[in-house]
Amino acid sequence: MDFGFTKEQEAFRLEVREYIKTEMPQKWETLGYTVWEETDESWAITQEWNRKLGAKGWLALTWPEEYGGLGRSPVDQLILDEEMAAAGTPTGVETMITIGWVCPTIMLFGTDEQKKKYLPPAARGELTFCLGYSEPDAGSDLAAVSTAAVEDGDTFVVNGQKVWTSIAHRADYCWLAARTDPDAPKHKGVSMFVVDMKSPGITVRPLINILGFHSFNEVFFDNVIIPKESLVGEKNNGWYQLAIALDFERSGVGGPARMKQVIDGLVQYCKETKRNGTPLWKDKGVQQELARLAVDAEVLRLLCYRITWLQINKKTPNYEASVTKVFGSELLDRLSNVGMRILGPYSQLDRGSKWAQLHGGITRSYLNSPSMGIGGGTSEIQRSIIAMRGLGLPRK
């Protein structure tokens, strides 16, 4: 058992830290932007940041060199993720989707042509995906997707509707789950496709989220004709690929480092701020809550290290990913809640108000927090996955 890092790994950590210190865009920092925000401005900043990282080979650090990575180990990836999360670098949701979830799945199941076509530009930060999973009647029950892809000569014809599709309005391609066999049992008739978002017949309609951002969308497919080469992996084997992509989605390892940073920020704030004349940190309740969060964030960090450990051993994290997803999202909720309690009446103010505290970041995090246990599979579903896939409990 060894929780330490090698000399080379420590050196890499310092290199990353130094890089971020000099290269982090000023504007992102001063505005206190966070990953879930989506504006023209934030998009421009994240895109530029991705391209810069891409040029260094850091955007897709662990990918083979032929696909634009540096072939580095999952531990180096962990270090990079931790440092970037701690510093709150301009990493948008599109980066996680493209680099973290979709491309690794294409790497596992795609043809050589597909890999050559999508991976190198993605690694340069020049190509983004959105996720075409959810539909009005297929949320938690994702295998119920009804958007149809019907084979027609050298093409497939796609018809149907997706919903909650994050950044569909900006993405180059959609990673689409569609039904290819309406007669098979629902898990056995789904296939995965890569669809050019500029294809005729695609309409994207914005949905505004409760923070007021246009981040997710409805996407309509009306007789969209896509070439046969859009199919990734075997026809009707999509559910398996989808499950793996979802495991990647739930495997983020940078979260605890970010939370640690927010907790440290709150501690600092409590040291500098007086409430009714008494320094906040002297409040026993505040001390206890912050201490509890710090302990929990540490536990989460170790649960995330287990994910990296599985990856080092060439295993795809399974229910272990659901453990970090459900614990992590609920911890983030608690963190926002504690932050709001510490800010008291000031918790009502977002950036833009001179009385806003900590750039209003806690306030936005609180507004974002209901989505944490929903997006990427709800907490209830994660717990069922842990129970059934992890513990082998019966389904019925």
Partner 1 sequence: MDLEFTKEQKILKSSARDFLKKECPSSVMREMKEDEKGYPEALWAKMADLGWLGVMVPEAYDGIGGNFMDLAIILEAMGEVCCPGPFFSTVVLGGLAILDAGSEEQKKLLLPKLANGDLILTLALSEPGAWYGTSVINVQAVADKDEYVINGTKLFVENAHIADYILCAARTDKGGSPDEGITLFLVDGKSKGITCTVLDTLAYDKQCEVVFDNVRVPADNIIGENGKAFSVLENLQEKAAVGKCAEMVGCIQTAFDMTVAYAKDRKQFGRPIGSFQAIQHHCANMVIDVDGARFITYQAAWKIAEGLPTSMEASMAKAWTSDASRRVTFLGHQIHGAISFCEEHDMHLYYRKAKAAEVAFGDGDYHLEKVAQQLGL
Which residues would be at the binding site for partner 1 (CB under 8 A)? 134, 137, 139-141, 144, 163-164, 207-210, 212, 216, 274-277, 285, 333, 337, 340-341, 344-345, 347-350, 352-353, 355, 363, 366-367, 369-371, 373-375, 378-380, 383-384
Q: Using CB distances below 5 to 8 A depending on partner kind, what does residue 377 bind out of ligand FAD, partner 1, none?
A: ligand FAD
* Among the residue ranges 47-55, 125-133, 238-246, 282-290, the one whose residues contact ligand FAD (CB under 6 A): 125-133
Query: What tokens does 241 get?
Result: 């690929």
d(CA 365, CA 362): 5
- CB atoms inside a 10 Å sphere around CB 206: 11
d(CA 120, CA 64): 10
Residues in the chain: 396
DSSP track, 150-182 = EEETTEEEEEEEEES-TTTTT-SEEEEEEES-T
Report angle CA 333, 339, 341 to the nearest 5 degrees: 105
- CB atoms inside a 10 Å sphere around CB 182: 10
Q: Using CB distances below 5 to 8 A depending on partner kind, what does residue 133 bind out of ligand FAD, partner 1, none?
A: ligand FAD
166 binding ligand FAD? (CB under 6 A) = yes
d(CA 319, CA 355): 43
Q: Which of 235, 374, 389, 390 binds ligand FAD (CB under 6 A)?
A: 374
* Among the residue ranges 52-60, 72-80, 98-106, 163-171, the one whose residues contact ligand FAD (CB under 6 A): 163-171
> Residue 297 to residues 291, 294, 337: CA-CA distances in angstroms?
10, 5, 15
Q: CB-wise, 196 or 218, nearer to partner 1?
A: 218
* Among the residue ranges 133-141, 254-262, 276-284, 388-396, the one whose residues contact ligand FAD (CB under 6 A): 133-141
Q: Which of 82, 249, 289, 320 is catalytic?
A: 249
d(CA 131, CA 33): 23
Footprint of ligand FAD on 171-230 (CB under 6 A): 216
- CB atoms inside a 10 Å sphere around CB 161: 19
394: DSSP letter: -
Q: CB-wise, 103 or 130, nearer to ligand FAD?
A: 130
* Among the residue ranges 11-19, 158-166, 323-331, 347-355, the one whose residues contact ligand FAD (CB under 6 A): 158-166
Strand partners, 389: none
Q: Using CB distances below 5 to 8 A depending on partner kind, what does residue 276 bind out of ligand FAD, partner 1, none?
A: partner 1
Q: Which of 131, 197, 253, 342 binds ligand FAD (CB under 6 A)?
A: 131
Q: Is 229 a catalytic residue?
A: no
Query: What tokens does 72 get?
Result: 């580095």
Give contact residues for ligand FAD (rule: CB under 6 A).
130-131, 133-134, 139-140, 164-166, 216, 371, 374-375, 377-378, 380-381, 384
Query: Annotated catalytic sites, by residue?
Result: 249
